[in-house]
Amino acid sequence: MAAEIAKPSVSIQDLSLNFGAVSVLQTLNLDVAEGEFIVLLGPSGCGKSTLLNCIAGLLDISEGRIFIKGKNVTWEEPKDRGIGMVFQSYALYPQMTVEKNLSFGLRVAGVPKDEIAKRIARAAEILQIEPLLQRKPSALSGGQRQRVAIGRALVRDVDVFLFDEPLSNLDAKLRAELRVEIKLLHRRLENTMIYVTHDQIEAMTLADRIAVMKGGVIQQLDAPQTIYNRPVNRFVAGFLGSPAMNFLKGRLEKNGDGWSFVADDLKIPLGTYQFDGQPEAGPAVFGIRPEHVSLNSGTGWPFSTAANVEVVEPMGSDTLVWLQLAQQKFSVRVTSERTPKNDDAVTVGFDPMRASLFDAENGSRI
């Protein structure tokens, strides 16, 4: 895991959460630096939203402690934690105008009127929702509603923003727009933000660090590029990246002073591969991303082999070519101009340095 953060903005220590006999989060530790944008990424049911609700104080935890800005907030009410939260369904109060929605929390807290007006003006200016202030949520579009929801967190002047899949209810185009806006907002405010999503593009584009979760456990916490290039296990490798990483089942063998990966009649020398510690001979899984494989580009690669094209999937900007390698499915991403035809004989080449080797049993990186 990454180095210790000296003064974390949010610090989660040994947090566990059980619903009856079901363990949802297991002794989870997470330190978020001041001003950092952390994305909790994982498939549905992995506990990422649950973790966010625990940080917000909307769920009582079973064990552990939560610190926000150095203050132990484990038993605090949500309002006293210095957090603002944005929900997937916007959760705007339908009977109130946008202005009243924004000011609700402040009015509850008894903030003076002129102060409320000032904060709303600022939030409305940042989010460009000034013309909407007197409308009801039902008269807003999805994107506008989500802006208002973000504004509601903004006016509370909090240290930490929590986003619970804020863009999942929007269509693809709006999602891309608001993604950029959230990134700009983070640059402008420099608040700590914790963002839950199952969308890897959102995670890759927004995050300073991504925490990939599965089964209530953080699998890997790292910068997006590190997670992409050096996934710590097969789950992370398969979950990130679209089209998904190729996995070949085979064996790790030692020959002479070098290692190679053998699957069927295929033998991939691993001279350039960086092992995580001492490798052992035995069953293993060889993973490589489709975009790290090249097609018909000479024999200058550390490894190349011949194969036949089975199916071609054009995706606009580029094309996914499916082949058989060692009797297993294998995909290659090529630019549209270089698309081969079905049944073409091609050469596949790649550098094992860009690959990832995983233990066949527990799936961890070798």
Partner 1 sequence: MVDVASLSAGTEARRRDAAGPSGPRPRHVLSRRNIFLYGTLIVMAVYYLLPLYVMIVTSLKGMPEIRLGNIFSPPVEITFEPWVKAWATACTGLNCDGLSRGFWNSVRITVPSVLLSIAIASVNGYALANWRFKGADTFFVILIVGAFIPYQVMIYPIVIILREIGIYGTLTGLVIVHSIFGMPILTLLFRNYFTSMPEELFRAARVDGAGFWGIYLRIMLPMSLPIFVVAIILQVTGIWNDFLFGVVYTRPDTYPMTVQLNNIVNSVQGVKEYNVNMAATILTGLVPLIVYFISGKLFVRGIAAGAVKG
Minimal distance, residue 68 CB to partner 1, in Å: 13
User: Helix (H, G, I), strand (E, B), or coil: what is residue 78?
Assistant: helix
Residue listed under structure tokens 């839950």: 196
Which CB sits closer to partner 1, 109 or 345? 109
Which CB sits closer to partner 1, 90 or 261? 90
Within 13 Å, how many C-alpha atoms sit on residue 85's CB side? Answer: 19
**Do 250 and 291 form a contact (C-beta atoms < 8 A)?**
no
Residue listed under structure tokens 């109130």: 96
What is the side-by-side order of every strand in the sheet holding 22-33?
22-33, 8-19, 63-68, 71-72
Separation CA 332–CA 352 (nearest Å) = 15
Binding site for partner 1 (CB under 8 A): 53, 56, 58, 77-79, 83-85, 87-95, 104-105, 108-109, 149, 152, 156, 164
Minimal distance, residue 95 CB to partner 1, in Å: 4
Which CB sits closer to partner 1, 94 or 300? 94
Which CB sits closer to partner 1, 3 or 108? 108
Minimal distance, residue 225 CB to partner 1, in Å: 33
Minimal distance, residue 251 CB to partner 1, in Å: 50
Q: Say which amino acid occupies 32.
A: V
Which CB sits closer to partner 1, 119 or 289? 119
Minimal distance, residue 116 CB to partner 1, in Å: 13
Number of Cβ atoms within 10 Å of the Cβ of 276:
12
Report residue 322: phi and psi, to 5°.
-100, 135
**Do 59 and 53 form a contact (C-beta atoms < 8 A)?**
yes
